[in-house]
Structure 1
């Protein structure tokens, strides 16, 4: 039987995560635009990292760093830069990247440890004897990085929520297994609902790419990049 463990000490209060920064408010950025920026930048990091063939967990760590930084610390240069690799105004030299790296490290308070749901996911799938759901559940875990779940919930709870959704999608009944785990199913179901609500908000295309309204993204990024 898989033993559930405690989450990271870096977990944040949900009420402090989904909040527009004071400087953003001064630029009239709405909560919806704030959320769109986080989704957009998470997808952008993912695509950029895949382009240079970075491992999946490294990508997930980078996105987590971004979300931690944008939640606890504001600097328009951290958000406005790099949204379009083909645009001349977003081209940087190594010294610029190194300078930005120090800003990110400072914003993270030099705490770089990230616990991901991937390992507990594989352990839980094996424990439940449903390794045939690995691909579906793994894909769901990947999608959770387009949300703030990694900042709020312990990794094993996110993994359980993804397994719960995968079981529903594949019509598998694991009620007794979940009961044996003694996990808080209210939390698991709430996380699952948040994941499903995300897909309602950002419907993927036939190739499973998340489609965001480009005009609204550009409008939000322009607000962030604008000088006070």
Structure 2
């Protein structure tokens, strides 16, 4: 897997929104509208999630599988690539790409368990054959970057900022919440440093005009 998003195949193959939801001519000939095209993709994404819950794979595998499916339909029609087979195959392929491999027979077992509709009931050989077709449709680019790590870091930073604000409020209101902070197991030195930055921001904001004028007046003085 590439370590840098900006040099990855994922970045190099990004599409504009208007390029993603385009109904292929073969599907149009079948009477598929844009709304139906979107609806099918949404339905199959939910199907991937349900299937993934049964085979017990991580959310990251689900996200990768959905990404593969959406990529496929920017290049291939649903007429050529039946979504009811593409969806579970993308889950199978994603499980391997994300090093959480699920056996094809297990996916087929739960496909049959989830739906009695014959149009969903594919066999192992169908999954394996479609896997090759999907790989070709994806040009063998399997790298997918997800925002989970970045998002967790942002949430963690936001959480520390919130804790710092609560610390400021507790000091301002003379409330002792030391025990609560201990239960959170946060580094109080970090909390206090963030608190000081927040207080500095508000102080600078309130006195900005006056301080800027003073600073400029110093620049105006002749040596």
Structure 2: stretches of 5+ with no match in the other structure? 89-110, 163-200, 202-223
1:113 to 143, 151, 156: 143
Give the aligned length.
129
Residues 27-106 of structure 1: pairs in structure 2 closer than 5 A: 27-76=30-79, 77-81=81-85, 85-106=115-136
The equivalent of 2:221 in structure 1 is none
Asked if 1 retains the 8 angstrom alpha-carbon contact of 2:44 and 2:84, the reply is no
2:15 to 12, 28, 53: 12
Query: Following the alignment from structure 2 to structure 1, what is the Cα–Cα distance between the partners of residues 161 and 39?
Result: 34
**Structure 1 residue 128: deviation in Å?**
2.8
Structure 1: stretches of 5+ with no match in the other structure? 133-175, 177-228
Query: Following the alignment from structure 1 to structure 2, what is the Cα–Cα distance between the partners of residues 16 and 87?
Result: 32
**Structure 1 residue 89: deviation in Å?**
4.1
Change (3 A) 1:14 1:89: closer
Query: Following the alignment from structure 2 to structure 1, what is the Cα–Cα distance between the partners of residues 160 and 134?
Result: 39
Change (3 A) 1:131 1:19: farther
Residues 1-228 of structure 1: pairs in structure 2 closer than 5 A: 6=6, 8-76=11-79, 77-81=81-85, 85-129=115-159
Deviates more, 1:5-14 or 1:35-44: 5-14
Asked which structure has the greater CA Rg, the reply is 2
**Structure 1 residue 107: deviation in Å?**
0.7
The equivalent of 1:135 in structure 2 is none
Q: Deviations over 1:112-153 (max 9, x none)?
A: 000001111011112333698xxxxxxxxxxxxxxxxxxxxx
Query: Following the alignment from structure 2 to structure 1, what is the Cα–Cα distance between the partners of residues 13 and 47?
Result: 24
Structure with the largest fraction of helix: 2
**Structure 1 residue 80: deviation in Å?**
4.1
CA RMSD of superposed structures (Å):
2.5
**Structure 1 residue 9: deviation in Å?**
2.0
Asked if 1 retains the 8 angstrom alpha-carbon contact of 2:48 and 2:66, the reply is yes
